[in-house]
Amino acid sequence: SYELTQPPSVSVSPGQTARITCSGDALPKQYAYWYQQKPGQAPVLVIYKDSERPSGIPERFSGSSSGTTVTLTISGVQAEDEADYYCQSADSSGLVVFGGGTKLTVL
Amino acid sequence: QLQLQESGPGLVKPSETLSLTCTVSGGSISSSSYYWGWIRQPPGKGLEWIGSIYYSGSTYYNPSLKSRVTISVDTSKNQFSLKLSSVTAADTAVYYCARHTLYSSSWTGGWFDPWGQGTLVTVSS
């Protein structure tokens, strides 16, 4: 079955830039989406269609795509950005797949 | 503002059928622009897509769960529902419903926004 691979954890100091990657063979042909999930809360969409930002999401969140890897970048990380981040895309049949998630720690 | 709310039993016995309903408010489930999806998250683990449904009844399921899953829609009540049969402890999870937006007129991928708050379902005797 198709898989999206994320690093289990990323650590960054406040004010620095965090980059979270997601790799998958179908990513050159399928859009990627990113969600932020804080403890005890439902996921929140932060990036859609690789690099689009929903209204209400801070500009420090951005997304990019290159080949089989997509990247969520958080510029000027704040303490409130500490959360789990999940990428999501689709396999060649269009069926939905989530990555395993990355825990972002703000040191 | 669109809101989704899951409801259903929080405890299900092994081998029985898990049944949940998602009530949509602030918008119509019959909108031609959206599917409606179920996603689950076992305690301490990641997200798993279960399946999605269009208001017409068209469905797509995760192949790993397809043999046990049924998703249905009731447009008169602005609700859609999940049934998962023959449950085991491995089905213990927080179950979320969400609006599923496709980026084209044909089925492929798409994103989930907004999400319901989620409901914990425990499978135990």
* CA dist A86 → A47, A67, A104 (Å): 11, 19, 11
Mutate which: B38, B96, B111, vs A, most A CBs within 10 A: B111
- In DSSP notation, A11-50 reads EE-TTS-EEEEEE-TTTTTS--EEEEE-TTS--EEEEBTT
Q: What is the pLDDT, as a whole number, of residue B106?
A: 75
Contact A102, A7 (CB under 8 A): yes
- B7: closest CA among B89, B95, B113, B114? B95
Mutate which: A95, A102, A103, vs B, most B CBs within 10 A: A95
Cβ distance of A48 and B111 shorter than 8 Å = yes
**Residue B63, C-beta contacts closer than 8 angstroms, at least 6 positions apart:** A1, A95
The 10 Å CB-count burial string (b at 16+, else e) for A8-21 is: eebebeeeeebebb
Instruction: Encode chain A (107 residues) as per-residue pLDDT tens digits.
Output: 899 999 999 999 999 999 999 999 999 999 999 999 999 999 999 999 999 999 999 999 999 999 999 999 999 999 999 999 999 999 988 899 999 999 999 99
How many residues appear in chain A?
107
Tens-digit pLDDT profile for residues B42-100: 999 999 999 999 999 999 999 999 999 999 999 999 999 999 999 999 999 999 999 99
Contact B92, B122 (CB under 8 A): yes
- Residue B120 DSSP label: E
Least confident of A87-91, B9-13, B30-34: B30-34
Task: Report yes or no: A63 at the B interface, CB cutoff 8 Å.
Answer: no
Cβ distance of A94 and B103 shorter than 8 Å = no
Residues of chain A neighbouring B112 (CB-CB closer than 8 A): 33, 35, 43, 45, 88
